[in-house]
Copies of this chain bind each other. A is one copy, B any other.
Amino acid sequence: MDVMSAKPPTSLDVAREAGVSQATVSYVLNNREGMRISDETRARVREAADRLGYVPHAGARTLRTGHSGLVLVPLVDIPYGVLAVGIMEELDRELSRLGYTMIQYGARRLKGVAAARAWAELRPVAVIAPAERLTRQAVDVLHSAGIKAVVGLGVVGWSSEIVSTVTMDHEAIGVTAAEHLAARGCSTLTAIVPVEDGLREMGLRRASGVQRVAAAHGVPYTRVDLAFSEAAAAAMLDVWRDANSAGSADSVDGADSVDGADTAGRAPAKRGVFAYNDDYAMLLMAVLADNGFSVPGDVAVVGCDDLPLAKLLRPRLTTVRFDVATAPAVLAQALDEVVKGGEIGRHRLTLWTHALVERDST
C-alpha cells in the first residue's frame, strides 16, 4: 500500500500473506466454481489481497489464457461528433456488461497491414474497424494472431466475405429526407456530398437514396460535391442562379420571385436540398441567407444527426435523427456471438434506424 514500493505485489505475495498457495489465490480471486475452498480461507485470501493492494497483471493473464478480453476500436479518421462519442460510450458499457474491455486505439498514423500488426500485438479478442481499412491482408494478420472476431463498420452495399460487417443504411436516410422534401412540394432535389475522405462514401450512399426518390417522383436531381467552406457553397449558389435564369425566363437578376402567392402559371421553383448532415446544413443556410435566398421559401433544407445546433438555427433545421439507443447493444451482442461461436465472416447486421425530425427549414 505504501507509495513506490519497489515492485507491485503478485498473487504469490498474496499467497504468502494469507498462508496459502498461489493457486488458491487464483482460484479465490477469480471465483472459480467447482473448486473446494472453505469460506474461511476465501476470506483470508481476499483480505490479504486488499491489504497488499494487489492488482492482477493483465499481461500475465493474457499470456496464460491466450486471450485478453480486449475489444479494440481504432479511432478512425472521421470527424468525431457528439453522436459518435455517444455511440462509443454506449458500446463500451454493453461490452463491459459482457465481460469485455473496450479500448480505443489511435490508428491514424498506421495504415493497412502495419496497423493490423499493431492491433494484433495486444491480442485482443475482437477488433472493430472501419470496413475500408480491413483489407484482405490486414484481416489475415489479425486472424493469424488469434483474433476471433473482426467486425467491419461500413455502409450498406459494402460487403465482405472475410469479416462480419455492421452497416448503416445511408441510402435509406437519403430516401427519408428526400421523400419529405418531395412531400413539401420541392420541384428539384439536390444531394450534397462532402469531399472529406471519411465522409464521402457515406455521402454518396445518401445521395443515391435522394436520387431514387427524385426518379420515382419524376423530379430533376442533382448531386453537388462540396467542400466545407463558404466559398464552395457560394459557388454552388451561383450555379443555381444561372440554372434558374436559363431554365425559366421568369425573372433575371435581383429579386428572384415574390413569395406572396403563386398565382402565375408556373409556381416558383422550390429546391429541396439534403445537406448530408447538420454541419453542412448550417453552412448552406448561412450562405443562402447571405445571398438572399429564403428558407424554406426558395430552398428547403434537411440535415442529418439532429445536433444541438439544429434547434438553434433560424429557421430551425429539419433533420434526420439516428436511433442510437439500441444499436450498440445489438452490435455488442453480435460480437459476442462471433467470439463464442468462432464463425468468421458470417454476420451481416444493419443498424441504426432513423426518423425525420420536422422543424422549420422545410
Decide: B308 and A286 in contact? CB cutoff 8 A.
no
Structural contact, B145 and A8, CB atoms closer than 8 A: yes
- Please report the C-alpha to C-alpha distance between residue A313 and residue B61 in the assembled complex, in whole angstroms: 54
Asked whether any CB of chain B lies closer than 8 Å to the CB of A296, the reply is no
CB of A85, distance to nearest CB on chain B (Å):
4
User: CB within 8 Å of B: which of A256-297?
Assistant: 279, 282-283, 286, 289-290
Q: Interface size for chain A: under 10, 10 to 19, 20 to 34, or 35 or more residues?
A: 35 or more
Q: Which of A18-26, A101-109, A245-253 lies on the face that meets chain B?
A: A101-109
In the complex, what residues of B have CB within 8 A of residue A82's CB?
A: 79-80
Q: Is A334 interfacial (CB 8 A cutoff)?
A: no
Nearest residue in B to A92 (C-beta to C-beta)?
Answer: B106
A143 contacts B by Cβ under 8 Å: yes
| Complex interface: chain B residues within 8 A of A9 (CB) | 144
When C-beta atoms are compared, the residue in chain B nearest to A65 turns out to be: B59
Residue of B nearest to A110 (CB): B96
The reply to whether the CB of A1 lies closer than 8 angstroms to some CB of chain B is yes
Which residue of chain B has its CB nearest to the CB of A313? B286
| Cα A314 to Cα B3 with chains together (Å) | 55
Q: Give the residues in chain B near A7, CB-CB below 8 Å.
A: 146
Contact yes or no, B92 A85, CB < 8 A: no
Tell me if A75 is interfacial: C-beta within 8 Å of chain B: yes
Query: Does chain B have a CB within 8 A of A2?
Result: yes
Q: In the complex the two chains form, what is the Cα distance from A60 to B5 in whole Å?
A: 23
Tell whether A121 pairs with B58 under 8 Å between CB atoms, given A53-B140, A143-B3.
Answer: yes
Residue A123 is within 8 A (CB to CB) of chain B in the complex: yes
- Taking A9-B144, A80-B80, A102-B106 as given, write out 7 further A-B residue pairs in contact, using a Cβ cutoff of 8 Å, ordered by the A residue number: A3-B144, A53-B144, A53-B145, A60-B63, A88-B106, A89-B106, A230-B311
6 contacts between A and B (CB under 8 A): A1-B140, A75-B88, A93-B106, A102-B106, A103-B104, A230-B312
For the complex of A and B, list the 3 residue pairs with the smallest distance between their C-beta atoms, beginning with the closest.
A92-B106, A59-B62, A59-B59
